[in-house]
Amino acid sequence: MATEADGEEETAGKLSGTQNLAVDDDLREMAKKAAWSVSSCKPGNGVPSLRDDNLETYWQSDGAQPHLVNIQFQKKVKLQLLGIYVDYKLDESYTPSKISIRAGDGFHNMKEIKTVELVNPIGWVHVPLSGSDPRDAFIHTFMLQIAVLSNHLNGRDTHIRQIKIYGPRPNPVPNQPFHFTSKEFITYSTISARSATPAS
Amino acid sequence: METLMVDRVRSSLSQFMHRNAIFLCERLCAEFPSELNLQLMATCYLRNNQPYFAYHILKGKQMALSRYLFALSCFQMNLLREAETALCPANEPNSEIPNGASGHHLLGLVYRYTGRRKLAKDHFMQALVIDPLFWAAYEELCALGDAEDANECFNDAVSVRIHLHSSFDSSSQGFDGASEDHNLPLKQDSSPRQSKQLHSINNIPSYPQSSNCVPSNLSLYNTPSPPVTQLSGTVPPPVYRNAYLPAIGGDGPSKPNPHATIQAPRRKFMDEGKLRKVSGRLFSGSDFGTRRSTRLSGDAMTSASLHVSQTGANVRKSSALDAPWFQASNAPSLLLDGGNTEQEKGFPQSSGALSHESGVNGAKELLFLLRILGEGYRLSCLYRCQDALEVYLKLPQHHYNTGWVLSQVGKLYFELVEYFEADRIFDLTRRVSPCMLEGMDAYSTVLYHLKEDMKLSYLAQELISIDRLSPQAWCAMGNCYSLQRDHEMALKNFQRAIQLDSRFAYAHTLCGHEHVALEDYDNGIRCFHNALRVNERHYNSWYGLGVVFLRQEKFEFAAHNFREAYNINARSSIIMSYLGMALHSLKRDDEALVLIDMAIVADKKNPLPMYEKANVLVSLERYEDALKVLKQLIEFSPRESSVYALMGRIYKMLNRPDMAMFYFGTALDLRPPATDVAVIKSAIEKLNLPDELEDSL
């Protein structure tokens, strides 16, 4: 349905969507471990619509800006990638245009780690959570907050159709300092247990 | 009329005409209500896969065979307690187990599945004593880990205890007149008849005695089909070898059964053997699904050994496998005081002597085969895989190339982590025996490890098309999904396998592993415990539990579970490495090193223990030794990023940033996953700090 919006400016921070959610194999979805909440919602268009893998349903906010999606984990987790599905053609003025991503230990000490601007996005928007430093491939946090600061065409409320959050896979062999990459190591690392694919 | 009906019912059963059999049997029971007829009815329902009906009919009946059939129905319906009470009533601790070897086997299974290993072992051993060719009992003993050497169990000496328990009673009936004609071949006739008669003491006792000493023509008619079908040369599926030795023409021992069974032990040793029943063996396989093939192959051998020389029906030249029939052929005549019809006279003596000779030969060959197979199976259950492989190679070629043997060999290679060989062997198995399902779950895991997703999905599809209701097919399917990292679907498939056969331990284990992959540790633990409940020696589950606890950092538990796994399978270098890891986490590094060294020796191709050793040495601050080990490892596995990363770390600790840098760089070149990249890069950064400090000075 959606195609990459060609000719759109793709400066750092300005994103359009892509049709497919392309995620590396060594990442896995973390959402199941989290408690999700939103600042406000219209009845029938609440949190479940954000997580139901159905791009037809969406979350619609119902209050003042900024609209917030809060993702809270029980322990500190490493997060690497955020995927947000929005659709300008369907949602027009409900489409978010400026999103701020914050992380912290709780509501009291959230700190902004990233801001992205969306320009007529259609499809999945990949937001890497790393800092500019390659050392910070992940953020290590208890809570993530996605704040919709403004919408296209100055809309008040916003629609987001799906959100996915990714972090690294744990080492299949527990208690090891490093992951195993070669085939021999991986073959011998478990007995018929599920193990990671080797990097070719 | 009754004998006519009985005959018809039996013949319908043997021809697989269940509906006909059930209908006629119901008429039979209505017209001539008796416990014998009820037993026949129960058999009809059991054959028709309606154990609940048989349960209902035979509830409370006390005759030996009734109790056996009732217990069987209970077992199939998973009512183990009732099965136990039927076979071994609580208030009569010394009563005879009905049905001899088969009864003991069934009781053994009940004890096994209710967790009483010692009792189970006793009964399986007893079954073997009564019938030394009872492979299924030996198999169960191996699975319990308690089997004695096959050379002992199946040695030639036991051949004296082998008798034909055939359902040849019927054939003997038919022999009435004609028996006189044949000499040599017929000697066996008398035997089966005698055995049958003895059996009938055990079995459904002869039908109304009046019809017993039946005029020959009727007995010819009444040749029960089961033996007839056997006579026709096809080996009928064991199920059809009728337990119901027709008492028709059951000349002779129209003795009430209960007495017979109780009297049996008091008879001579050899008579005891005769009281065994084929039927028991027929119903013996508990895992009706997975062991069917074994049962069939096992029974096929024995049925082949059953000679049938017969009169009216087809003549089947006895093969060399003349079981030592009734050496005690004399004895039967003693038993059959009243019952002996004219046919028997004169036969026993001569036949006895002659049959004994040829009988023993046949038994010896069969025992020879069973010795090899038994020893191989026993060793493979003890996970002495190399030894088992050598034993199997002693089989003659035509036996080696059969489904059961090949799948066992395949499983052995799987256990030895030689996946390519295993793949080759399993592939051969599938070509030799395309419908063989046992062992295909292991094959699917082999393909999973080899990452052959095409082959794996093809295998899964094929297995499902062969038998949608087999747990192995769904295990293969689950492995398919798991290979594609779709753990939830994989889990669903494994759960389906469990639903199909809750006694299939591997399905439970695989479920557990999937839960662990989904990081659902509680459910994982639960699944592993389920697997262990089914089969305490499933070392894979112990290992799985250990891994879970390792992740949860409950190192004591982890060590305990790995040790249990190690006790069962002391050859697996992987288990040894993990046990070493757990001990290392518990800071018991000396013990850890011992185990790790053992692991290195056990399997030279396994790089993991060496890596672990390096880890341990690092924590013991024996850096130089650790580096030595890692350098060896590089020769072995040059493209393993973690090795270089660890070396980099060691050099950093040895304060040689140049070497550290080199190794970190190499590690990064090998493209480890992102987490490691981050770790390594930050380590590199920290490396440079001392230089910067110097610069700023």
Instruction: For residue B500, name the pLDDT band (cuts at 50, 70, 90).
Output: very high
Distance linking the first and last C-alpha atoms of chain A: 33
Q: Please give the pLDDT value at position B302.
A: 42
User: What DSSP state is assigned to residue A42?
Assistant: B
Residue pLDDT, tens place only, A28-77: 788 778 899 999 999 988 888 888 888 889 999 998 889 999 999 988 88
Q: How many CB pairs under 8 A join A and B?
A: 131
* Distance of alpha carbon B278 from alpha carbon B18, whole angstroms: 21
Mean pLDDT of chain A: 80
pLDDT at B425 over 60: yes
Residues of A in contact with B509 (CB under 8 A): 192
Which amino acid type is present at position B670?
Answer: L
- Give Cβ neighbours of residue A104 (< 8 Å, ≥ 6 apart): A110, A111, A141, A142, A143, A145
Residues of A in contact with B445 (CB under 8 A): 192
Which amino acid type is present at position A82?
Answer: L
Q: Please give the pLDDT value at position B464.
A: 93
Instruction: Tell me whether B561 touches chain A (CB under 8 Å).
Output: no
Q: Is A162 exposed, middle or buried (0-12, 13-18, 19+ CB in 10 A)?
A: buried
Instruction: Answer with the residue of higher pLDDT: B338 or B574.
Output: B574
* Distance of alpha carbon B177 from alpha carbon B179, whole angstroms: 6
Once rounded to an integer, what is the mean pLDDT over residues B481-507?
91
Dihedral sign for Cα atoms in the order B366, B371, B372, B376: positive
Q: Please give the pLDDT value at position B480.
A: 93
Q: How far is CA B630 from the centre of its chain?
A: 43
pLDDT at A169 over 60: yes
Residues of A in contact with B676 (CB under 8 A): 178-179
Tell if the CB–CB gap between B636 and A184 is shorter than 8 Å: yes
Tokens of A62: 């119902």
**Option in B482, B573, B608 nearest A185 (CB):** B608
Q: Please give the pLDDT value at position B411.
A: 93
The residue among B445, B456, B553, B608 with the most chain A CBs within 10 A of its CB, best to mutate, is: B608
The dihedral formed by the CA atoms of A97, A103, A105 and A108, expressed in degrees to the nearest 10: -40
CA distance A26 to chain B (A): 7
Please give the full DSSP string across B320-338, using - where no structure is assigned: S----TTGGGHHHHHH-TT
Q: Please give the pLDDT value at position B226.
A: 43
Q: Please give the pLDDT value at position A71.
A: 92
Residue A147 pairs in a beta bridge with A68, A100
Instruction: Tell me whether B523 touches chain A (CB under 8 Å).
Output: no
Distance linking the first and last C-alpha atoms of chain B: 117
Among B36-45, B84-93, B280-289, B377-386, the range scoring the smallest mean pLDDT is B280-289
- Tell me which chain B residue has its CA closest to the CA of residue A180: B642
Nearest to B223 by CA among B313, B309, B308, B305: B313
* Distance of alpha carbon B463 from alpha carbon B451, whole angstroms: 19
Helices (H), B518-622: 521-534, 539-551, 555-568, 573-585, 589-602, 608-619
Instruction: Answer with the residue of higher pLDDT: B454 or B354.
Output: B454
Instruction: For residue B361, name the pLDDT band (cuts at 50, 70, 90).
Output: low
Instruction: For residue A100, name the pLDDT band (cuts at 50, 70, 90).
Output: very high
Q: Please give the pLDDT value at position B637.
A: 83
Mean pLDDT of chain B: 74
Instruction: Tell me whether A188 touches chain B (CB under 8 Å).
Output: yes
Once rounded to an integer, what is the mean pLDDT over residues B23-39?
90
Residue pLDDT, tens place only, B49-101: 999 999 998 888 888 888 888 999 999 998 998 888 888 876 666 667 777 88
User: B337-347: string of b/e by CB count within 10 Å (b at 16+)?
Assistant: eebbbebbeeb
Whether ipTM tops 0.90, in short, is: no
Tell if the CB–CB gap between B581 and A175 is shorter than 8 Å: yes
Tokens of B280: 């028991």
Instruction: For residue B589, name the pLDDT band (cuts at 50, 70, 90).
Output: confident
Nearest to A120 by CA among A1, A12, A13, A14: A14
Q: Please give the pLDDT value at position B246.
A: 42
- Tell me which chain A residue has its CA closest to the CA of residue B585: A175
Once rounded to an integer, what is the mean pLDDT over residues B540-552?
92
Tell if the CB–CB gap between A181 and B646 is shorter than 8 Å: no
Residue A118 pairs in a beta bridge with A15
Q: Please give the pLDDT value at position A131.
A: 67
Q: Please give the pLDDT value at position A3.
A: 37
User: Judging by DSSP bridges, how do beta strands A14-15 and A111-118 pair with one another?
Assistant: parallel
- B616 with B647: CB under 8 angstroms? no
**Option in A168, A180, A188 nearest B642 (CB):** A180
Contact residues, A window 71-130, toward B, CB-based 8 Å cutoff: 78, 80
Contact residues, A window 25-64, toward B, CB-based 8 Å cutoff: 25-27, 33
Instruction: For residue B413, name the pLDDT band (cuts at 50, 70, 90).
Output: very high
Residue pLDDT, tens place only, B1-17: 888 989 989 999 999 99
Once rounded to an integer, what is the mean pLDDT over residues B457-480?
93
Instruction: Answer with the residue of higher pLDDT: B278 or B493.
Output: B493
- Give Cβ neighbours of residue A64 (< 8 Å, ≥ 6 apart): none
pLDDT at B194 over 70: no
Share of chain B above pLDDT 70, in %: 69
Tokens of B154: 């199946």
Tell if the CB–CB gap between A134 and B677 is shorter than 8 Å: yes
User: What DSSP state is assigned to residue B358?
Assistant: H
